[in-house]
Amino acid sequence: MKKEENLGFKDTWRYLKKTYKYAKKERKYLIFFLIGCIVICGIEAVIPLFSARQIITLTNGLFDQVIIATLLIFLLEMSFNVIRFVNNVFFWKYFYALRKNIQLKLVSETLKITTDTLNQNSSGVFTERIGNDTSNLANITLQAIDQITYLITCFGILTSIFFLSKIIFVAFVFYILVTYLEQKYASEKIQEKRKILRKMSEKASGFASEMVRGCKDIKVLNAEKSFIQKSGEVVDRLNQDGWNMDITRHKFRLLGGSLSDLLDIAIVFLGIYCIIQNKLTIATMIIIFNYRGSIANISYNFESILESIKSFTLAASRVFEVIDGKEFPKETFGSTHLDKVKGNIEFKNVYFEYEQDNPILKGINLKIKPNETVSIVGRSGAGKSTIFNLIAGLYHPTQGKIKIDHVNIEELDKDSLRGNLSIISQNPYIFNMSIRDNLTIVKKDLTEEKMVEACKMAHLHDFILSLKDGYDTYVGEGGVILSGGERQRLAIARALVQETEIILFDEATSSLDNETQHEIQESIKSMQGKYTILIIAHRLSTVINSDRIILVDDGKVIDEGSHQELLKRNSLYKHLYELELKEEK
C-alpha cells in the first residue's frame, strides 16, 4: 500500500470504483440522489436571483410584483425542503447497504488474515477499521456531495455578481484565491495532526480492549493501580493529540475569520466608491452585500471538499488495505476437496520456526492411523502445541510435508482441512453469547437432540439445566460468568457438535478439577475408536490409556510407545512422570 501522505486523486478514483461495487442492488437510490442534487443546485441558484429582483422591484414601488415574487420564493423554498428530505432518504438507503456490505467483507477478510499477522497487530487496528472507517466511507461521501452542491450554488451567485458589478467581481475572485491558499495550507497541517490522532486512537482502542478482556487477571495480580496509571498515560496522549489537532484547526479558523472581516470592510468601501461614481445603485449594492457570505465560502467550501476527498481516500485505503492489501496477508489453501476424511495424519521430516534461525520443530516424523488415540507429551516448549497449529493449517511448515489421508494439507481446500478437525485448546475463547449460540455458531443446523448429547458427553448438561435461563443463558465476554472448568467443558461440547473425524485436545483438561477431569477422560475414552484423537497433555496420568504416547523433546520425536513401555525404557519420560507424582503429593 502507498504511504498515507502519498495518496492522490488516482487513488481516490480507484477507491470510489471499489466502494461503488459494494451496493449493486441499491445503486438506483444513488442515481435518484444525484438527480435530486442537480435539482437542489438549480433551486438554490434561482432563489438568489428572485430575491435580488424582489429588492429592486421594492425600491421601484412595484408592490404587486413583490407579492408574486415572494410567493414564488416561498414555493421554491418549500420544494427545496421536500426534495432535500427525499434526497437524504435515498442516500441513507444507499449508505446503510453500502456500509453493511463493506463491513461484512472486511470481517470476512479479517478472518482470513494469517495467524502470525494477527498476533503482530492489536485488535484496535481492526475494530477501528470495521467500525469507524467503514462508516466514514459513506458519511464523507455525503458531506462531499453536499459541499459540491453548495459550491455550485455559490458559483451561480458569483456569476450573477459579474453582471451586476465587474469591479466587485474581481475583488471577490482575488479574495477567493487568497483564502483558498490559506485553506490549502491549513488542510495540510490539520491532516498531519489527524493521522497522528488516528494512530493513537487505534492504540487506545486496543489497550482498552486488552484491559477489559484481562480484567480478571488484573484484579488477581493486584495491578489495578498500574493499569489505571497506564490508562491515564494513554488517555493523556490521546487527549494531547486531539488538542494539537483542534488548536491547529482553531488557529486557522481565527485567521480565516479575520480574512472574512477584511472582505466585509473592503466590499463596503468598494461599494461606496462605485455608488459615488454612479457605477452601482444602492439597491444592487445591498444585494451584493447580502450574498458576500456565500462568495466568501467558495474557497472554504472548495478546500473542505478536498479535505473530505482526502479523508475518504484515507479511510478507504485503511479498509481496502485489509480487504486486498499486502500488509495483511491472507491464509492460502489448495483446491483438492475430500468429502469424507478417514483420519490418517502423517508428518514427513517437518521443520518449523516462528522466527528466523530459531527452529521449534526439527525434522518431525510421525504417523497417526484412523480412529487411533495418540497423546503427545514432553517438556514445556518442546513444540507440542506447534504440531497442532500446523495440522490445523494456522501455520505452514518451513520444510517437509504434513498429510491428511495421504494428501498434502497445502493442497487441501479450507473445508477439507478445517471442516474435518476440531481443536479444544487450553484457553478456549468463549463468545459473548448464550450457551446455545456458542454451540450453534459452529453448526447452524444443530438439532436440540445433538446439542444436548454433546453437552452430556462434556458433562455440562446438568450444570446448564441448573441455570435460570438454561441453554439461553448469556455467558458474558470471554465466558466470564463461567468457571475455568465450565468454559473448558463448553469448548469440548462445541467441538463435539461439529462431528469432525479428527479431534485435537490441546491441554484441554488442564483447568479442570480432578473429579471433572476424570469425567472428561471417561468421555474421551467413550470416543476412542470412533474418531482420530490427538491429545497434548501436561499431566502424564491423563494419557495412560492412549493407544500410543509420542514423546517430544527439543522439537524432535525421541520415542513412542505405551505408557508402560516408555516408563521402562525412556529416562526423560520416567523423570517427567515421577516429577508429576511428587507434585501431586
Each residue of 403-427: pLDDT tens digit? 999 999 999 998 888 888 888 887 7
CATH topology of domain 8-324: ABC transporter transmembrane region fold (1.20.1560)
Domain residue limits, the chain: 8-324, 345-584
Is it the case that residue 69 has pLDDT exceeding 80?
Answer: no
What is the Cβ-side half-sphere exposure of residue 320, based on CA atoms within 13 angstroms?
A: 21
334 three-class SS: coil
Average pLDDT over residues 483-491: 84
Buried b / exposed e over 432-457, threshold 16 CB at 10 Å, is: ebbbbebbbeeeeebeeeebbebbeb
Report d(CA 554, CA 68) in Å as an integer.
94
Report d(CA 366, CA 349) in Å as an integer.
9
Percent residues over pLDDT 90 in the chain: 16
Contacts of 319 (CB under 8 A, 6+ apart): 102, 106, 129, 133, 134, 137
pLDDT at 226: 78
pLDDT at 550: 93
Average pLDDT over residues 454-459: 86
pLDDT at 509: 67
Q: Report residue 186's pLDDT band, with 50, 70 and 90 as the boundaries.
A: confident
Q: Which CATH class is domain 345-584?
A: alpha beta
Helices then strands (H, E): number in the chain?
20, 10
Percent residues over pLDDT 70 in the chain: 88
Query: In this structure, are residues 242 and 196 in contact, taking their beta carbons and an 8 Å threshold?
Result: no
Full-prediction pTM beyond 0.85? no
Q: Report residue 1's pLDDT band, with 50, 70 and 90 as the boundaries.
A: very low
Return the top range by mean pLDDT from 53-57, 101-105, 220-224: 101-105
Buried b / exposed e over 483-499, threshold 16 CB at 10 Å, is: eebbbbbbbbbbbbbbe
pLDDT at 131: 81
Report d(CA 412, CA 392) in Å as an integer.
11
Is it the case that residue 222 has pLDDT exceeding 90?
Answer: no
Of the listed ranges 66-70, 92-96, 283-287, 524-528, the least confidently predicted one is 66-70
- 216: nearest Cα among 531, 446, 454, 484: 484
What DSSP designation does 529 have? T
How does strand 532-536 pair with strand 502-506? parallel
Is it the case that residue 27 has pLDDT exceeding 50?
Answer: yes
Identical fold at 8-324 and 345-584? no
